Amino acid sequence: MSLRTRWTRSAGFLPLALLLALALPAARAHAYPWMIQHGYTNCSGCHVDPSGWGLLTEYGRGQDQIVIPTLWGGKKQEDLEPFTGIMYGAVPLPSWLNVGLSLRGAVLSTTNSGTTTWRDILMIADLRAGVTAGPFLASVSFGYVPTGATLAAVTNQPRDNLVSREHWLGLRFDDNRLYFLGGRMNLPFGLRNVEHNAFVRSSTLTDTNSSQQYGGQVVWDAPGIRAALMGIAGNLLLRDPAYREYGYSGYVEGAFSNSFTLGLSSLVTHADLALAQFANPALGPDPFFGASNSWRQAHGLFSRWHVGGPWVVLAEANLLVQTADNVATDWGGVGFLQADWEAIQGLHLIFTGEALRQRYVNSYGAWFSVSWFFFTYCEARIDVTFNDYGMSSGGHLPSLGVLGQLHFSM
């Protein structure tokens, strides 16, 4: 059994899993579905990955300075002259070369059953580089994490691992509408939201923290519609091939205006042996973990809606189905609803509700978050998260988490 999965069977499963579920880093270098507030329904203008997240293009670096941070000293957007290079313009870059850095540190307080624990975390320390030169695309990230993100670890230590969340090559045609990508990539599924430990991401294993897979992907990115279909060839960073998942993941999303989109996602994977899923850590030992002939499915809808002014609503709902030999089929579901209010430029007050049904047990979550991009490339964020985890025994386990983060990303 690999180190990546062994820990889930440890005797201290519940507290450790709870802590990890709350503590795994929100690897949110750049993945802001609320950019629809500025009329952006597609992601490829700003991101090297046409489905969004991660490394920014030259245009994205410009937007990162114009529309993301709070502007001080009475400055307005029209007063700015963004630099095309990095490090506040100190390092010039040619238009075809993209380089990014993401550093995120956090302090987490978790309260379960009247007991509060504190932990400081280096959540992300990634260097990214990529190419957008005519039809050629490439993107690679490389970083260090002391804990977590084991599915993306290129080293095989219990802690202090080097990680590469993505590394892929691509070609694009037809005025950048048609893409062919191959390598380790984020799974195209649902909202590419930054809260990677939200139920919708953790229950579908489609988060941007470490759930990337190897495979080939076709992306269609055109006005009014975008779609992606990825053939999953497994996570080759998992050293035990029996746990690797094979299948597909994809979405199609229509933009009915520049302020409203509706999308459909679908994912089906098969593995010889099932991985554990951490969506509800209070469930106890996962009956699917290690079960043979595992099929995992998720199908659902997602939407982005710029309601008006500073309000954006993001929503996603998925049906979850999991089967394996000698384990009863699990029919479940997961939902996510988030309202983002940008009180002043750069300051976001975020209200999130979520629900999960897995292993025939219901769990609920409510988040209140303040995300402040207080200066170019700099973000401070606080998440207050209350989860009511359903337990197999019939009870519920309430859990309160307070996560404070400082993030430097360019």
Partner 1 sequence: MPRRASLAALLLVLPLLAPATKLTGEPSAGFHGRGPGGFGVDGKTNQLRIEDDGTTLKFTVPLAGLQTGIGLRDRHMREKYLQVDKYPDAVLEVPWSGVKLPGDGQTGEGTAPGKMTIHGKSKDVQVKYRIVRTGTRYQVTGNVPLNLKDYGIDVPSYMGVTVQPDIDTSVSFTAERS
Q: Which residues bind partner 1 (CB under 8 A)?
A: 38-39, 41-42, 44-45, 50, 57-59, 61-63, 66-67, 76-80, 82, 84, 95, 132, 172, 175-177, 221-226, 255, 258
Min dist. Cβ of residue 269 to partner 1 (A): 27
Amino acid at 246: Y
Q: Which is nearer to partner 1, 122 or 313 (CB)?
A: 313
Q: Which is nearer to partner 1, 65 or 161 (CB)?
A: 65
Tokens of 396: 């519920």
Residue 11's Cβ-count burial label (10 Å; 0-12, 13-18, 19+) is: exposed
Min dist. Cβ of residue 188 to partner 1 (A): 14
Q: Which is nearer to partner 1, 226 or 357 (CB)?
A: 226
Q: Which is nearer to partner 1, 20 or 93 (CB)?
A: 93
CB 112 within 8 A of CB 389: no
Min dist. Cβ of residue 179 to partner 1 (A): 9
Q: Which is nearer to partner 1, 164 or 176 (CB)?
A: 176
Q: Which stretches does DSSP call E strand in 195-326?
A: 213-222, 225-232, 246-257, 260-273, 292-308, 311-324
Residue with tokens 């520049």: 258
Min dist. Cβ of residue 26 to partner 1 (A): 26
Q: Which is nearer to partner 1, 278 or 377 (CB)?
A: 377
Element (H, E) at 132: strand 115-133
CB 396 within 8 A of CB 410: no
In sequence order, the 6+-apart residues with CB closer than 8 A to the CB of 369 are: 348, 349, 350, 352, 381, 382, 383, 384
Min dist. Cβ of residue 254 to partner 1 (A): 11
Q: Which is nearer to partner 1, 59 or 351 (CB)?
A: 59
Phi, psi of 160 (to 5 degrees): 55, 65
Min dist. Cβ of residue 65 to partner 1 (A): 9
Q: Which is nearer to partner 1, 135 or 287 (CB)?
A: 135
Q: Which is nearer to partner 1, 227 or 291 (CB)?
A: 227
Min dist. Cβ of residue 221 to partner 1 (A): 4
Residue 395's Cβ-count burial label (10 Å; 0-12, 13-18, 19+) is: exposed
Long-range residue pairs from 231-234, CB within 8 A, at least 24 positions apart, any chain:
232/187, 232/269
Min dist. Cβ of residue 401 to partner 1 (A): 35
Q: Which is nearer to partner 1, 73 or 114 (CB)?
A: 73
Min dist. Cβ of residue 87 to partner 1 (A): 17
Helices (H), 67-181: none
Q: CA 217, CA 168: separation in Å to the nearest integer?
A: 10
Min dist. Cβ of residue 31 to partner 1 (A): 17
Tokens of 313: 């609503």
For CA atoms 150, 156, 159, 161, the dihedral sign is negative
Q: CA 334, CA 319: separation in Å to the nearest integer?
A: 7
User: CA separation (Å) from 347 to 18, 53, 342, 350, 407?
Assistant: 29, 20, 5, 10, 14
